[in-house]
Chain A
Amino acid sequence: MKNEQAFRRELVSQLPRLRRFALALAGSRDAAEDLLQSAVERALRKWESYEEGKRLDSWMFKIMQNLWFDMRRSVSSGPIYTAELLDVAGSDGRDVTEARDELRLVREAFAELPEDQRAVLALVVLEGFSYAQAAEALGAPIGTVMSRLSRARASLSARAVGNVMIAPIPSRKEK
């Protein structure tokens, strides 16, 4: 993208999605804001390396994923980010944490998933990415994306939807 202002405007338009992905990765609002801000700063420094025609959201998700791993590695001497109950506000200011119990259960179940499973769920289920797009954004093989997705969905549906735990039937591709 040759026009920096256009890049910036596009980046702002993507903020709701980027913020949700940051929240999915980081598990808490404060950590998500740290992550999002760091990713934005990096994107602004490197905007000229963004290839026009590519998905900006995918480019940003990859930056966020890499940054998150860096942040996780450096937390031994810094703040510890925990997957606390996700606490998000709706676009109209409505506090969805007060919504129905079932949604609270879903958020709790989601927050308790491993990070890599939250990331793949966020991309495929929340953002509608194809497996190939998710694999590219996460820097993982498609088979890994599929196995993480399968495990994540099994955990989520068992905890949040069904009262009876149903073990997922293993996929041959599962790692």
Chain B
Amino acid sequence: MLNDGLIGAYLDGELDQEKRALVEHWLAHDKGAAARAERIRGADAMLRRAIPRIAVDQADPIAALIMEGPTNVVSFAGHGWIRRAVAIAAACVIGVLVGRASAPSMMSNIDPKMRLSAEIERALDALPSGQSAPIMGGELQMALSVLTDSGALCRQFRTVSGADAADALACRVDGDWRLAVQAAAPGEAAEFSVAAPAGSAIDAAISAMGGAAVLDANEERALIAARWRQ
């Protein structure tokens, strides 16, 4: 009798000519077996469509890890936030705007006195991640939104003015946006960079808040509509 293992082996091209001919004969004369074969074939095809390969994005931190020198092969253990950020960023076809923090001005805690300009606050209120808006003769590029483990909503963005660029993280504090950290952006101001190296200012700020989960587009859209009220 034709069992499912044999049918599968037939579909996988694992049978020699003699067994293949035997299975084909059975399938031609046994409607039940033929139906099972079709069901297996159909499930395989659907599985291939349902789980596609995931392309390497320019912001892929693992591709960057591979192409770095062996002395730079470091573990990201404990930096799950970076991975989540990049994964979501890749899915949304946006970059992760984290700088090298060459001249960081950071705080481990959010200073409520660090107010942002009204233009930046408006952008933080309404600009979806991956989009840009003009501000103060320059441009603000929104990177992503996160919910920290301590329950704060934060947004990471880059400001570009001429050759100068800075990456920043702002968080909601008592209904307003407050600057949590900012750092000089990489030299190529207009380009999205790969993930932050461990120890970057923004990563450190996120870690100080206990980590964070990146919000997906639907979650972010809902918060924009709700004016970031949780």
Contacts and interface: CB of A to CB of B under 8 A. Distances in A.
Given A30-B84, A106-B43, 17 more contacts: A15-B66, A20-B51, A20-B53, A24-B51, A37-B61, A37-B76, A38-B75, A40-B62, A41-B73, A44-B70, A91-B53, A92-B55, A107-B50, A125-B48, A150-B3, A153-B44, A169-B2
Main secondary structure of the interface of A (DSSP, over half): helix
Contacts of A40: 62, 65-66
Given A29-B87, A90-B52, A15 B60 contact: yes
A79 to B, nearest CB: 9
A106 B87 contact: no
A53 interface: no
Interface of A: 4, 8-9, 11-12, 15-17, 19-20, 23-24, 29-30, 33-34, 36-38, 40-41, 44-45, 86, 88-93, 95-96, 99, 102-104, 106-107, 110, 121-122, 124-126, 130-131, 146-147, 149-150, 153-154, 156-157, 160-162, 166, 168-174
Interface residues of B, number: 46
Given A150-B8, A153-B4, A161 B52 contact: no
B76 to A, nearest CB: 6
B40 to A, nearest CB: 5
A91 B75 contact: no
Contacts of B49: 103, 106
Interface of B: 1-6, 8-9, 12, 14, 36, 39-40, 42-44, 46-56, 60-63, 65-67, 70, 73, 75-76, 80, 83-84, 87, 90-93
15 contacts: A15-B63, A20-B52, A29-B87, A44-B70, A91-B53, A91-B54, A95-B91, A104-B50, A106-B50, A110-B50, A110-B51, A130-B14, A166-B36, A168-B4, A169-B4
Contacts of A166: 36, 39
A102 B46 contact: yes
A77 to B, nearest CB: 14
Contacts of A170: 3
